[in-house]
Amino acid sequence: MLSALTEKLDSLDLNKVDYLFREYYFDFGLPSSKFVAFLLNQTGKKLRPLLLLLSARIAGDINENSYKYATIFEALHTASLIHDDIIDLAELRRGENSMNQQFGNKLAVLTGDFILSRSLSILAQEQNPEILRVYATASEELCLGEIQEQQIKSSGKITLDKYFEVLRLKTASLFSACCEAGVLSTQGPENIRQILRAFGENLGIAFQIKDDLLDFTGNVGETGKDTGKDIAGNIITYPILSVVNDLPKHLQKEFSHYSFSEMKKLITDYSGFKKTEDEILKYSSICLNILDRLESTDKVEVLKKIVKLNIDRKF
Ligand code: FPP
Ligand code: MG
């Protein structure tokens, strides 16, 4: 999938991330190994390590630290999904049983915690407080995003501003952190670091809006996740927010009163899916404009392809 984008780029090998994942989290000799082995069989898109390694290539030369950080940030993503699936009562992830479904909530929570703790041990060996700061800020923001999402859900008070704030925290923060960590791994220049951070943030927003769209329109065979999880969990996302002000009074009932198919029909009738696609395009064009501030190279072209792939992706 995504690895096909990098075939022509030498010295960028996403397989090394799998190899290091095994070394850091699996060959550790603890009972947790059984659960980490389960994760090794569940390969995701590896978008975050790819962004990190491309950022490293743009800022300098990929080195051992680039791969180390790529693995650790992919592991942070994995740990956050394990916890997210517990919260969302998700049964499927990456086309397989979710970890909570397979092993129960207790072991799933603990495996996520183990991955985080082990990552901190590895990062603590670094003589680089900057990478620790980037990692810690990203994990803090992921948690804050998820907490805010739950608070909004309980209060029933959602606005577009709040929706975007959650997106920035729960998704965009990790994308921008990966781009920044890639530059840090090569001790690259400050201006490149700022540009790629801003790129990552906007790609993260475009990516999560697309994810929220796929929760309505996706196909389990392609996304590897069940659809309708957001509405089932009472989480209001962009497709609904984009139509809410256009609805006549009699249709403005509690969203939890709609079934999934009724909600889809309502969004379709009020052009909500089209508006959502337009919003993805808006953030995608911000990403492309940011990339135009960099010298045009084959690596920057791959980042542009990722932006376009997100627009069309069905997975
Ligand atoms: C997916 O959202 C979830 C996230 C992007 C972040 C989850 C973060 C936490 C659970 C906080 C815990 C964090 C750490 C550091 C362990 P989604 O439910 O909209 O996407 P999905 O459809 O893929 O489930
Ligand atoms: Mg979820």
The beta-carbon contacts of 247-255 under 8 Å, at least 24 apart in sequence, are 255/231
Residues with CB under 6 A from ligand 1: 76, 79-80, 83-84, 87-88, 90, 112, 116, 139, 142-143, 146, 170-171, 211, 215, 225, 229
SS (H, E, C) the chain: CHHHHHCCCCCCCCHHHHHHHHHHHHCCCCCCHHHHHHHHCCCCCCHHHHHHHHHHHHHCCCCHHHHHHHHHHHHHHHHHHHHHHHHCCCCEECCEECHHHHHCHHHHHHHHHHHHHHHHHHHHCCCCHHHHHHHHHHHHHHHHHHHHHHHHHHHCCCCHHHHHHHHHHHHHHHHHHHHHHHHHHCCCCHHHHHHHHHHHHHHHHHHHHHHHHHHHHCCHHHHCCCCCHHHHCCCCCHHHHCCHHHCCHHHCCCHHHCCHHHHHHHHHHCCHHHHHHHHHHHHHHHHHHHHCCCCCCHHHHHHHHHHHHHHHCCC
| Angle in degrees, 0-180, between the axes of helices 190-217 and 272-291, rounded to the nearest 10 | 160
Q: Are 199 and 290 in contact (CB under 8 A)?
A: yes
Q: How confident is the model at residue 156 (pLDDT cuts 50, 70, 90)?
A: confident
161 class by beta-carbon count within 10 Å (0-12 exposed, 13-18 middle, 19+ buried)? exposed
Percent of the chain at pLDDT > 90 equals: 73
Dig out the tokens for 4 from the structure.
């096909």
Q: How confident is the model at residue 7 (pLDDT cuts 50, 70, 90)?
A: low
Q: How confident is the model at residue 31 (pLDDT cuts 50, 70, 90)?
A: low
How far is ligand 1, taken at its centre, from the CA of residue 10, in Å? 32
Supply the pTM of this predicted model: 0.94
Q: How confident is the model at residue 94 (pLDDT cuts 50, 70, 90)?
A: confident
For the chain, domains (ranges, CATH) are 11-312 (1.10.600.10)
Q: How confident is the model at residue 33 (pLDDT cuts 50, 70, 90)?
A: low
pLDDT in tens, 297-309: 999 999 999 999 9
How far is ligand 1, taken at its centre, from the CA of residue 260, in Å? 21
Q: Which residues contact 161 (CB under 8 A, 6 or more apart)?
A: none
Nearest 5 degrees, angle CA 167-CA 46-CA 66? 100
pLDDT in tens, 257-271: 889 999 999 999 999
Residue type, 35: F
- Best residue for ligand 1 mutational test, from 45, 115, 170 (most atoms within 8 Å of Cβ): 170
- pLDDT for position 240: 96
